[in-house]
């Protein structure tokens, strides 16, 4: 099938359908409303379910309920809406249910602006909601990559029984690029019959004899719960979650652009910022200034080993983090490189996307 | 030969509940369980527990059960029912869960006509957290956050959810029963069973509000509580079926004929 020119938001919607996700619950918010509008037309065509919820809060909880059924469900929103979903994300992660959330990030904080931003990095990678939990976070830099990430996200969600977040931004959502869905291979949806809520058919009713002890039942009904009042049980569950997140490191991904063995400046950037920096790396090379771009693709788990290796190269003298926020991923860069080299930050906010020329100027100043 | 005339329903588990003496959750759980058994719905049922005294409801039923965030059960149930329409999905919520934090979720689930059943336990107070004022607390009623009695100037009047939801145009079955007397327990059972029948027939959204006692937080004995409920709650929260899907929208007709 030929490549199709599509708006990012629409490609995002189509990608989920191609991955077999037939249930979408969401609420309009700029700059991702086209995802909902596209799916409102498309879901009925493929026999899926489109439901506009009463709010993002409602949508996220519909995802919680839908995910309990074992079927592939997803939602999309943008920064202020994602904040409303924090509660549900904590519950879903605790209940270990697979699902996909897409953030088409816009300028914040508060109502902010509707133009692209990366101001939700901390929220996505470190503080998605209350308690000790993590989302698996993928950060695409192009529409095609967003499509690839979404299709793979459902497999990852199934594999780890965890919510997966696609961290996109308003630029990716709004721009039109050629998309090839067939280039991406996905697996069949996993069988969740060992835990999904399907009704207690064929499973005999069991007595839960607790006597005077309040114990968590281990009968053969399927329960979706997050309440662990007993501290020992609660801690055990948290340790289990932590072990799971550790095992997610198998999914770590990054990309290095430019010649890492010649670079004197290592640029770190993700998503749209990385796309801009890629051009800056090329422009700088033309002027004889050697830089390389380290692009994390998973924001959680963070490609810390790859970053440290790149940062510790003898030829790398300084590190520059370029982001569309006020300095978020740079904190992780500092942490993971153990400040091996001086670290600088260049950011634009408010919905402003930096230009390659701006990045080139910043690098030139560092090189002096 | 002995005949069994009364036994624990199959949908209820053989366990001692944690509820207080005189609490009507145990009774209401049984009415739900009996309805599911009698309609043959046990194996298709999925219950959604609230945050409240009945957060542990899943320990007392032998069906698949889920825990929703506070107030979000109707949204949760919507997601579950829309992905697996063959399930009989019901929520079981208290007055804080449904009438305070969750009003948006219940309103929109009812308005969309989600084919779920909602059991709304109204005891005019917040039980689990130790007796605070609820949106359903009566004027003058003393609670830990209305120590001088609910002041309607400050906190407004109590909300009648049965009436509020009945103004919606979307067809639904909405009734209010009570668990304070044997006679009303029997009548409420009929409402609850009817509600599940509507879902089993894929007809409409259904909600049964059940007036309940909370002796612990009302500071009364169980017997005093049932009397207090009859004398004070029923006049404000009239009992009976208010909306059924068969009748035409009486409210809209009235509004059109008497502008």
Q: Residues near A43 by Cβ (< 8 Å), separated by ≥ 6?
A: A17, A22, A24, A49, A50
Q: How far apart are CA A35 and CA A39, in angstroms?
A: 6
Q: Residues near A282 by Cβ (< 8 Å), separated by ≥ 6?
A: none
How large a percentage of chain B has pLDDT more than 90? 92
Element (H, E) at B172: strand B172-178
CA distances from B235 to A243, B138, B211, B228, B232 (A): 56, 11, 12, 11, 6
CA dihedral A254, A259, A265, A270 (to 10 degrees): -20
**pLDDT tens digits, A81-110:** 999 999 999 999 999 999 999 999 999 999
Q: Does residue B142 sit within a domain?
A: yes
Q: Does residue B103 sit within a domain?
A: yes
Does residue A153 share a domain with residue A264?
A: no
CATH number at residue A359: 3.40.50.920
- Among the candidates A179, A209, A225, a domain finishes at A179
What average pLDDT does range B219-224 have in this prediction? 96
Which pLDDT belongs to residue A188? 80
CA distances from A65 to B73, B101, B199 (A): 9, 18, 18
- Split at pLDDT 50, 70, 90, the class of B106 is very high
Which pLDDT belongs to residue A217? 44
Chain B residues lying within 8 Å of A219, measured CB to CB: 62
Q: Does residue A184 sit within a domain?
A: no
The alpha-carbon radius of gyration of chain A (Å, integer) is 22
Q: How far is A206 from chain B (nearest CA, A)?
A: 7
Closest CA to B92 of B52, B132, B125: B52
Q: Does residue A226 sit within a domain?
A: no
Q: How far apart are CA B18 and CA B28, in angstroms?
A: 14
3-state secondary structure of B208: strand
Does residue A261 share a domain with residue A161?
A: no
With CB atoms and an 8 Å threshold, state whether B10 touches A205.
yes
Q: Return the residue of B nearest to A222 by Cα.
A: B64
The alpha-carbon radius of gyration of chain B (Å, integer) is 18
Q: Residues near A221 by Cβ (< 8 Å), separated by ≥ 6?
A: A200, A203, A206, B62, B63, B64, B65
Does residue A308 share a domain with residue A161?
A: no
Which of B11, B37, B70, B75 is the best mutation test for A, with the most CBs of A within 10 A?
Answer: B75
With CB atoms and an 8 Å threshold, state whether B66 touches A214.
no
With CB atoms and an 8 Å threshold, state whether B46 touches A199.
yes
Which pLDDT belongs to residue B256? 57
Which pLDDT belongs to residue B251? 58
**pLDDT tens digits, A77-86:** 999 999 999 9
Q: Does residue B12 sit within a domain?
A: no
Largest CA-CA distance found in chain A, in angstroms, rounded: 78
- Among the candidates A151, A179, A207, a domain finishes at A179
Q: How far apart are CA A39 and CA A206, in angstroms?
A: 42
CATH number at residue B47: 3.40.50.970
* Domain tally, chain B: 1
3-state secondary structure of A101: strand
Does residue A172 share a domain with residue A42?
A: yes
Does residue A298 share a domain with residue A172?
A: no
- Among the candidates A152, A179, A206, a domain finishes at A179
Element (H, E) at A322: strand A318-323
Chain A residues lying within 8 Å of B45, measured CB to CB: 199-200
Closest CA to A172 of A118, A126, A136: A118
- Split at pLDDT 50, 70, 90, the class of A205 is very low
Size of interface A-B (CB pairs under 8 A): 161
What average pLDDT does range B10-16 have in this prediction? 92
Q: Does residue A120 sit within a domain?
A: yes
Does residue A70 share a domain with residue A155?
A: yes
Q: Does residue B16 sit within a domain?
A: no
Q: Does residue B19 sit within a domain?
A: no
Q: Does residue B17 sit within a domain?
A: no
Which pLDDT belongs to residue A184? 86
Does residue A262 share a domain with residue A171?
A: no
Q: Return the residue of B nearest to A52 by Cα.
A: B112
Q: Does residue A284 sit within a domain?
A: yes
Does residue A282 share a domain with residue A153?
A: no
Q: Does residue A214 sit within a domain?
A: no
Q: Does residue A38 sit within a domain?
A: yes
With CB atoms and an 8 Å threshold, state whether A200 touches B63.
yes
Chain B residues lying within 8 Å of A58, measured CB to CB: 72, 75, 78, 104-105, 108
B54 interfaces chain A, CB cutoff of 8 Å: no
Q: Does residue A227 sit within a domain?
A: no
Element (H, E) at A163: strand A163-169
Q: Return the residue of A nearest to B75 by Cα.
A: A62
What average pLDDT does range A134-152 have in this prediction? 97
* DSSP output for B36-96: HHHTT-GGGEEEEE-SSGGGGGGGTBSSEEEEPPTT-HHHHHHHHHHH-TTSEEEEEEEHH
CA angle at residue A228 from B46 to A214, to 5 degrees?
A: 85
Chain B residues lying within 8 Å of A25, measured CB to CB: 78-79, 82
Q: Does residue A212 sit within a domain?
A: no
Chain B residues lying within 8 Å of A217, measured CB to CB: 58-59
Which pLDDT belongs to residue A1? 61
Q: Does residue B112 sit within a domain?
A: yes
- Split at pLDDT 50, 70, 90, the class of A213 is very low
Which pLDDT belongs to residue A212? 30
Chain B residues lying within 8 Å of A193, measured CB to CB: none
Strands A136-138 and A298-300: antiparallel
Closest CA to A241 of A166, A130, A162: A162
- Split at pLDDT 50, 70, 90, the class of A199 is confident
**pLDDT tens digits, A226-281:** 999 999 999 999 999 999 999 999 999 999 999 999 999 999 999 999 999 999 99
**pLDDT tens digits, B23-64:** 999 999 999 999 999 999 999 999 999 999 999 999 999 999
State yes or no: pLDDT of A214 exceeds 50: no
Rounded (10°) angle between helices B182-200 and B25-38: 40
Element (H, E) at B153: helix B152-155
Higher-confidence residue: B140 or A216?
B140
Does residue A269 share a domain with residue A129?
A: no
Q: Does residue B44 sit within a domain?
A: yes
Strand partners, A7: A176
Which pLDDT belongs to residue A253? 98
B59 interfaces chain A, CB cutoff of 8 Å: yes
The pTM assigned to this predicted structure is 0.92
With CB atoms and an 8 Å threshold, state whether A64 touches B72.
yes
CATH number at residue A21: 3.40.50.970
CA angle at residue A203 from A200 to A204, to 5 degrees?
A: 110
HSE of A62, CA atoms in CB hemisphere, 13 A: 31
Does residue A263 share a domain with residue A174?
A: no
Does residue A162 share a domain with residue A29?
A: yes
Q: How far apart are CA A104 and CA A8, in angstroms?
A: 10
Which residue of B48, B83, B104 is in closest CB contact with A73? B83
Interface of B with A in 92-121 (CB under 8 A): 104-105, 107-108, 112
* Domain tally, chain A: 2
ipTM of this predicted structure: 0.88
Q: How far is A27 from chain B (nearest CA, A)?
A: 13
With CB atoms and an 8 Å threshold, state whether B62 touches A206.
yes
**pLDDT tens digits, B153-205:** 999 999 999 999 999 999 999 999 999 999 999 999 999 999 999 999 999 99
Output phi, psi for A171, to 5 deg: -70, -50
Please report which residue ranges of chain A form alpha helices under DSSP H: 8-18, 33-46, 56-68, 79-95, 121-125, 143-160, 170-174, 231-247, 271-286, 304-311, 329-337, 356-367
Note down the domain range covering A312.
254-367
Note down the domain range covering B128.
25-257
With CB atoms and an 8 Å threshold, state whether B84 touches A69.
yes
State yes or no: pLDDT of B253 exceeds 80: no
């Amino acid at each position: 099938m030929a490549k199709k020119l599509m708006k990012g938001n629409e490609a995002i919607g189509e990608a989920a359908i191609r991955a077999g996700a037939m249930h979408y619950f969401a609420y309009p918010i700029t700059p991702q409303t086209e995802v909902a509008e596209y799916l409102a037309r498309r879901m009925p065509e493929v026999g899926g379910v489109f439901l506009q919820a009463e709010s993002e809060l409602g949508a996220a909880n519909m995802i919680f309920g839908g995910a309990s059924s074992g079927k592939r469900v997803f939602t999309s929103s943008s920064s202020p809406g994602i904040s409303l979903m924090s509660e549900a994300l904590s519950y879903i992660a605790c209940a270990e249910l697979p699902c996909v959330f897409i953030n088409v990030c816009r300028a914040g904080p508060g109502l902010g602006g509707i133009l692209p931003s990366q101001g939700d990095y901390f929220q996505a990678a470190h503080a998605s909601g209350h308690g000790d939990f993590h989302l698996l976070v993928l950060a695409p830099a192009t529409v095609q990559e967003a499509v690839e990430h979404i299709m793979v996200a459902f497999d990852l969600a199934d594999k780890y029984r965890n919510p997966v977040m696609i961290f996109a931004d308003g630029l990716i959502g709004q721009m039109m690029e050629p998309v090839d869905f067939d280039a991406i291979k996905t697996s069949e949806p996993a069988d969740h019959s060992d835990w999904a809520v399907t009704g207690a058919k064929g499973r005999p009713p069991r007595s839960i004899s607790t006597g005077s002890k309040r114990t968590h039942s281990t009968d053969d009904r399927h329960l979706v719960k997050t309440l662990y009042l007993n501290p020992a049980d609660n801690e055990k569950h948290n340790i289990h979650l932590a072990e799971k997140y550790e095992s997610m490191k198998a999914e770590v991904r990054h990309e290095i652009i430019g010649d890492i063995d010649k670079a004197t400046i290592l640029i770190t950037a993700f998503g749209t910022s990385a796309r801009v920096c890629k051009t800056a790396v090329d422009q700088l090379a033309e002027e004889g200034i050697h830089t390389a771009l380290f692009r994390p693709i998973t924001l959680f788990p963070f490609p810390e080993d790859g970053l440290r290796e790149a940062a510790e190269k003898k030829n790398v003298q300084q590190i520059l983090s370029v982001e569309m926020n006020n300095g978020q991923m740079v904190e992780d860069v500092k942490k993971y490189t153990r400040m091996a080299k001086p670290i600088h930050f260049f950011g634009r906010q408010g919905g402003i996307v930096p230009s390659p020329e701006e990045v080139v100027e910043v690098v030139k100043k560092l090189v002096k | 030969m002995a005949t069994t005339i009364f036994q624990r329903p199959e949908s209820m588990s053989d366990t001692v509940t944690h509820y207080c003496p005189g609490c009507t959750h145990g009774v209401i759980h049984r009415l739900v369980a009996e309805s599911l058994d009698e309609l043959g719905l046990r194996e298709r049922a999925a219950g959604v527990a609230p945050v409240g005294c009945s957060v542990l409801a899943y320990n007392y039923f032998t069906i698949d059960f889920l825990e929703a965030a506070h107030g979000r059960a109707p949204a949760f149930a919507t997601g579950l029912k829309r992905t697996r329409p063959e399930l009989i999905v019901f929520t079981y919520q208290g007055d804080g869960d449904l009438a305070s934090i969750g009003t948006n979720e219940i309103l929109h689930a009812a308005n969309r006509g989600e084919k779920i059943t909602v059991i709304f336990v109204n005891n005019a107070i917040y039980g689990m957290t130790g007796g605070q004022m609820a949106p359903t607390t009566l004027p003058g009623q003393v609670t830990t956050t209305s120590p001088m009695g609910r002041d309607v100037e400050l906190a407004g009047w109590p909300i009648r959810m049965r009436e509020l939801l009945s103004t919606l145009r979307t067809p639904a079955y909405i009734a209010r029963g009570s668990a304070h007397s044997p006679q009303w327990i029997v009548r409420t059972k009929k409402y609850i069973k009817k509600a599940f029948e509507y879902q089993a027939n894929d007809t409409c959204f259904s909600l049964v509000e059940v007036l309940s006692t909370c002796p612990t937080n009302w500071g009364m004995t169980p017997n005093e509580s049932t009397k207090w409920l009859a004398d004070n709650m029923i006049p404000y929260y009239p009992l009976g079926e208010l909306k059924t899907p068969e009748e035409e929208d009486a409210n809209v007709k009235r509004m059109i004929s008497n502008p």
